[in-house]
Amino acid sequence: MINKRLLIKNLLAHNDECSFYDKKRQLNLHSREGKAKFLKHICALSNSNPTNNSYIVVGVEDHDNDIVGDDFFDDSRIQNLVNAFLENPPKIQYENVPFPNLPKDKVVGLVTIKPKSKTSYFKKGIHTILANTVFIRIGSNTVPVENEFEKNYQNTETVIGIENNSRNSIAYTLDGVIDFMNFRHKDMASKYKVFKELFVICWAGNPKKVREKTYFSRVDIELINEQIKLFYSAQDEVTITYDDDSFTITEYVPLGLNDKTSYYPLEKQTIYFYENGYYKIDREMLFEPPEFNKKMLFHIYNSNIALLSRLQKGLSLNEREHKDLANLPSTFMICYLNGFEEAKQKLIDAKLLLKPNAQVYLAFKESLRILRKMKYDMQ
């Protein structure tokens, strides 16, 4: 079992970016340009490593390897994005890896690209990349090539050596449990559970009971053996259930208008553990968007557009407008889910206006996360 934090350290220590790994300060999958860059690197790393894993490390400064972290990214459907644009797409996995020096809401992202013998290429264009384009890695550079190119089998032993040096140990597991419960989450209720005498899950959150059901907020859940953050949310509420073989997280999202908020189930994530040291994660989207009166929504939508205009002009807001601003990301999401197609782009375009307000910006990121999940789920 590989300790992903140790793997990242070994990748960063091995060499600068090379033909089997790349590093990024952050990913931007909200724009076509950002998606194109990400897909280009996936294509190149897959083609350059037909017999070994290749990696992208996210949340690292390019010039000095400083680990600065990035937002928790829980979109398992990122594979759908790869499948949509690449022919012979490799299987990829995105994992969130906590580091001790980072804030609780920041992680290092680890993208693992599984080996694939067939050549990957773009089956349709995106941004400036044309259909049928093939990319490979030459050193630290991602470059386009003709369809016929010589496969590289030189990385296999090096990558296997790095992975073997990143194996987990009892000491790493115990240190991880102690750090999680006694230091990083000493301010809230935290628990752990051992599955199949091998896997250890730790979780922490603020519990509250509603009609005999316990919900948790500010939730952090980690698979300690592999140093993977399975779930993190600063806003939404979740329920947690488990038995001897599985651990289930059900996430709820608060939505409402005019100060009337209800909680809607968003997604269920279940981790199944097996005796042979294997585990798998199943996800099921549960979200059914609430429907609102279109006439009322039209009025609220236009009011929020006017609110953004005031922000853009640098005008001061009154108490009611500050309250509306706090709800703006959720309101735009509701409008988009009720047929206002331009509302999502309006929300994305408002990013720089909302960023100075930490609480509103957090709600902005949560709204985009939910919309992204829904988009990939429908593909």
Beta strands in the chain (DSSP E): 21-24, 54-58, 70-71, 86-87, 92-97, 106-113, 121-122, 134-138, 141-145, 189-195, 199-210, 213-223, 228-233, 237-242, 246-257, 260-273, 279-285
Start-to-end C-alpha separation, the chain? 32
Sequence-separated contacts (24+) of 300-309 with Cβ below 8 Å? 300/257, 300/331, 300/335, 301/331, 301/332, 301/335, 301/340, 301/343, 304/328, 304/331, 304/332, 305/346, 308/346, 308/350, 308/353
76 or 11, greater pLDDT: 11
Residue in the block written with tokens 């922490």: 204
Supply the pLDDT for residue 235: 65
pLDDT digits (tens, 9 = 90+) for 335-374: 999 999 999 999 999 999 999 999 899 889 888 888 877 7
Q: Is the pLDDT of residue 378 over 60?
A: no
- Sorting pLDDT into bands at 50, 70 and 90, what band is 156? very high
Q: Is the pLDDT of residue 168 over 70?
A: yes
pLDDT digits (tens, 9 = 90+) for 125-151: 999 999 999 999 988 889 999 767 778
378 or 327, greater pLDDT: 327
Contact between residue 48 and residue 142 where contact means Cβ atoms under 8 Å apart: no
Whole-number Å distance between alpha carbons of 153 and 49: 7
- Sorting pLDDT into bands at 50, 70 and 90, what band is 160? very high
Supply the pLDDT for residue 375: 65
Closest of 240, 167, 178 to residue 208, by C-alpha: 240
Contact between residue 190 and residue 202 where contact means Cβ atoms under 8 Å apart: yes
Whole-number Å distance between alpha carbons of 179 and 184: 6
Q: Is the pLDDT of residue 47 over 80?
A: yes
Q: Is the pLDDT of residue 222 over 60?
A: yes
Its pTM stands at 0.82
Q: Is the pLDDT of residue 178 over 90?
A: yes
114 or 138, greater pLDDT: 114
Q: Token pair for residue 104?
A: 């609780």
SS in 3 state form for 159-174?
A: HHHHHHCCECCHHHHH
Contact between residue 190 and residue 29 where contact means Cβ atoms under 8 Å apart: no
- Sorting pLDDT into bands at 50, 70 and 90, what band is 15? low
Supply the pLDDT for residue 189: 82
- Sorting pLDDT into bands at 50, 70 and 90, what band is 75? low
Supply the pLDDT for residue 288: 86
How much of the chain exceeds pLDDT 90, in percent? 64
Give residue 311's Cα distance to chain centre. Answer: 29
pLDDT digits (tens, 9 = 90+) for 223-256: 999 999 998 877 668 999 999 999 999 998 878 7
Q: Which of 33-37, 108-112, 366-370 has the lowest mean pLDDT?
A: 366-370
Supply the pLDDT for residue 204: 93
Angle in degrees, CA 376, 25, 116, rounded to 5? 55
Query: Which neighbouring-strand residues pair with 22?
Result: 56
Supply the pLDDT for residue 139: 85
Output DSSP code: residue 150: -
Average pLDDT of the segment spanning 271-284: 92
Segments in 64-131 forming alpha helices (H): 78-85
Average pLDDT, the chain: 90
- Sorting pLDDT into bands at 50, 70 and 90, what band is 113? very high
Supply the pLDDT for residue 379: 43
